[in-house]
Amino acid sequence: MKTIDELLAEGVTGRRVFVRADLNVPLDGTTITDDGRIRAVVPTVKALADAGARVVVASHLGRPKGAPDPAFSLAPAAARLGELLGADVAFATDTVGESARATVAGLADGQVAVIENLRFNPGETAKDDAERGAFADQLAELADTYVGDGFGAVHRKHASVFDLPARLPHAAGYLIATEVGVLKKLTDEAKSPYAVVLGGAKVSDKLGVIDHLLDKADRILIGGGMAYTFLKAQGYEVGTSLLQEDQVQVVQDYLRRAEAKGVEFVLPVDVVTAAAFPDLGAKAATHPATVTAAEIPADQMGLDIGPETRKLYASKLADAATIFWNGPMGVFEHPDYAEGTRSVAQGLLDSSAFTVVGGGDSAAAVRLLGFDENAFGHISTGGGASLEYLEGKTLPGLAALED
């Protein structure tokens, strides 16, 4: 995989460099609530601009249905990128149309432009190879060279991720190089004890990574909504908690396999419950209660791990040499159910381990709860991509960057 440093050494002055970034940031209207993904691509964009390239930045945002939708415009992200670069960033109001062509043609050496949301064009996400390829052909007309730096999208076989690199000389940006290096440490070079913390809503989303990590991890800690399927698999009643009934037998099999391999599964011993899911906008008091994992009332749902579980999990992280965390322990967006996630984040910081926060909601929680991002070994920009890499899958966007 060619690196951006190799590309820069060849010289990029005057060349149009297409940077596939991941600017898929959360928005409240037009206000960006977490700019972490934009900040992550700045080193690559700045290095190219400083070297005299004419930089064309492209990304998706949200899930528009293959047509322009103002709610998913990249205009706020383009403005924020300009602020972070300390330079004007031009913005094209379409992807490959008149505005994009004119905006790119108007760039001088060292200038940067962002084109509109790639998913406004149905060719970006098309299942049909020819339709995807036709869009990639149009994108290729905007550039001389391709740099892949949108790690959060490399698990997607999309036109700008998979097809476009085949049409242009290509290299990996700084972010992708960093992400891949970190993930290799978790798969090929992980030091023991290796602790994995998995949370989030659905156990089905994590089965692949659990399967792969059974041969690598020493202990796996489970929280979030997925924990209740594990508790059900152990014979506990879980009230109205999130439950994937069809996965109970699958989970039982994983627990048996883990025991046979000597991998320790650590499940909640107590949980914080309430009668209903909280209103995240109101942040009003919700009358939470703490009960043991064996005594969840029939009319209550588990919304966070309890204080005894927090202590237990902290002890399981304290002596670890490597920790990977993906998925919150509860409804961290509400203060009544944030302590479990907060305690896991603190547990990573209190350890002397190499710590990786696996993107997605985990990364959002770290920022929302006020932790210093730089205190962690690495915070990934791609939750889904990180998980698929750890599952051992081939990621289309990485395969496309291989020479």
Exposed (0-12), middle (13-18) or buried (19+): which is 333, by Cβ within 10 Å? middle
- Is there a binding annotation on residue 37? yes
CB hemisphere CA count around 174 (13 angstroms): 12
- Is there a binding annotation on residue 150? no
Rg of the chain in Å (alpha carbons): 22
Q: How far apart are alpha carbons 366 and 332 in whole angstroms?
A: 10
- Is there a binding annotation on residue 333? yes
Asked whether the beta carbons of 97 and 109 are under 8 A apart, the reply is no
Q: Which residue has the tokens 């902290």?
A: 314
- Is there a binding annotation on residue 374? no
- Is there a binding annotation on residue 22? yes
Which residues participate in catalysis according to the annotation? 37, 202, 360, 384
- ∠246-341-366 over CA atoms, to 5°? 120
- Is there a binding annotation on residue 98? no
- Is there a binding annotation on residue 23? yes
- Is there a binding annotation on residue 156? yes
Tell me the DSSP string of 59-106: ---S---SS--GGG-SHHHHHHHHHHHTS-EEE-SSSSSHHHHHHHHT
For residue 29, what are the contacts with CB-CB under 8 A and spacing of at least 6?
Answer: none
- Is there a binding annotation on residue 347? no
Token pair of 98 as six digits: 């008149």
DSSP 3-state of 12: coil
Asked whether the beta carbons of 154 and 397 are under 8 A apart, the reply is yes
- Is there a binding annotation on residue 66? no
- Is there a binding annotation on residue 232? no
- Is there a binding annotation on residue 6? no
Q: For the chain, what percentages of helix, strand and coil (3-state, to nearest 5) are there? A: 40, 15, 40
- Is there a binding annotation on residue 360? yes
- Is there a binding annotation on residue 148? no
Per the annotation, binding residues for (2R)-3-phosphoglycerate are 37, 119, 156
Per the annotation, binding residues for substrate are 22-24, 37, 60-63, 119, 156
Per the annotation, binding residues for ATP are 206, 302, 333, 359-362
Per the annotation, binding residues are 22-24, 37, 60-63, 119, 156, 206, 302, 333, 359-362
